[in-house]
Amino acid sequence: MDGDGDGDAGRAEHAFDRAVALQPLPAGAAGAPRRFRGHTSADYANMVGPFGGITAAQALQAVLLHPDRLGEPVAFTGNFAAALADGPFTVESVPARTNRSTQHWTVTVHQPDASGRDAVVFTATAVTAVRRATWGATDRTMPAVPAADEVPSAPRIAHVAWFGRYDMRYFEGPMPREWDGAETPGSETGLWVRDEPPRPLDYASLTALCDSFYPRVWLRRATRTPIGTISFSVYFHVDAALLAACGTGHVLAQARGQRFFNGYFDQSGELWSAAGQLLATTHQLVYFKE
């Protein structure tokens, strides 16, 4: 029992922690996939189904929670195979190969389909690794932008719950105000972003942040054509100490489209700490309707 009001028990759990909480299901035979039970989060709901970043974070969480995990995430790719229904899901993580300092994971998220049969709604691979100190460098240049406290927070969008879970401060390429179909020449967006309310950065929340850019095709065309991320990758350039140093501060996030062709476009982005460290690089392929 914690008598003083500052103890953990006295603090309200953050919505992100509730969203990525997974309950381990009984372990099968040795070497069998480890299964967890999760639940979609109303706090991170998108217009239809959940915010993709939270699904990716939940899948990564099934790796992070696995008792046989070696090291920390270095690469993650998730594929959105079907829209998740609001409700419970099962996530299965398998260490497909464990080496001396790296471990290769396959992850699948399952929900019953319309006929009640178990179906795959998300597939992923991840690589975890024990890092050692090496030579290092950052070849990409951090953009020169106004500090987070000099940029106003974007207004909330009432009907999209997950936008309210982030404080987003656009210094470049905000979401269009007029959906007038006027094409703009580029598709780059830059913002300072953090969890709202603030929460210390970790691998799961960094993963979700990597998917927090609104669709490039909306910016490019000022048209809300239906879209859906198909494949989403994160390369992690951090260790636990670097993450801890980020604390609850804003990260600088920047992304742009490269090619829009017959229903699909790609997006590449970077997330930087305020101190100037490139924390993650992220890429995705996105379906768009027309």
State the residues that interact with a second copy by CB under 8 A.
74-75, 77, 79, 81-82, 96-97, 99, 102, 104, 106, 108, 119-121, 123-125, 127, 129, 131-140, 186-187, 220-221, 230-231, 233, 235, 237-239, 256-264, 266, 268, 270, 278, 281, 283, 285, 287-290
**Residue 108 CB, nearest approach to a second copy (Å):** 7
Specify the residue, 14 or 111, whose C-beta has the smaller distance to a second copy.
111
CB of 44 to a second copy, least distance (A): 22
Maximal CA-CA distance, the chain: 61
Question: For residue 241, with 0-12 CB atoms within 10 Å meaning exposed, 13-18 middle and 19 or more buried, which class applies?
Answer: exposed
Give the nearest distance from C-beta 226 to a second copy in angstroms: 11
In angstroms, what is the minimal distance from the CB of 134 to a second copy? 5
93 class by beta-carbon count within 10 Å (0-12 exposed, 13-18 middle, 19+ buried) = buried
Compare residues 21 and 142 and give the one whose CB is closer to a second copy.
142
- Among 193, 273, 279, residue whose Cα is nearest residue 236: 279
- Which DSSP state fits 11? S
Of 6 and 262, which has the nearer Cβ to a second copy? Answer: 262
CB nearer to a second copy: give 14 or 77: 77
24 vs 186 by CB, closer to a second copy? 186
Nearer to a second copy, 184 or 248 (CB): 184
Q: Residue 100 or 159: which CB sits closer to a second copy?
A: 100
Q: Tokens in use for 283?
A: 């890429």
What the block records as the tokens of 271 is 């997330």
Distance CA(271)–CA(168), nearest Å, equals 13
Residue 284, CA atoms < 13 Å, CB-side half-sphere: 31
| Least distance from a second copy to the Cβ atom of residue 192, Å | 20
Tokens describing residue 65:
């929670």
What length is written for the chain?
Answer: 290
* Both structure tokens of 31: 């070497």
Cα separation, 122 vs 91, whole angstroms: 9
Q: Of 246, 234, 241, whose CA–CA distance to 276 is shortest? A: 246
Residue 241: CB minimum distance to a second copy, A = 10
- Determine which helix (DSSP H) or strand (DSSP E) holds 94, and give its type and residue range: strand 88-98
CB of 270 to a second copy, least distance (A): 7
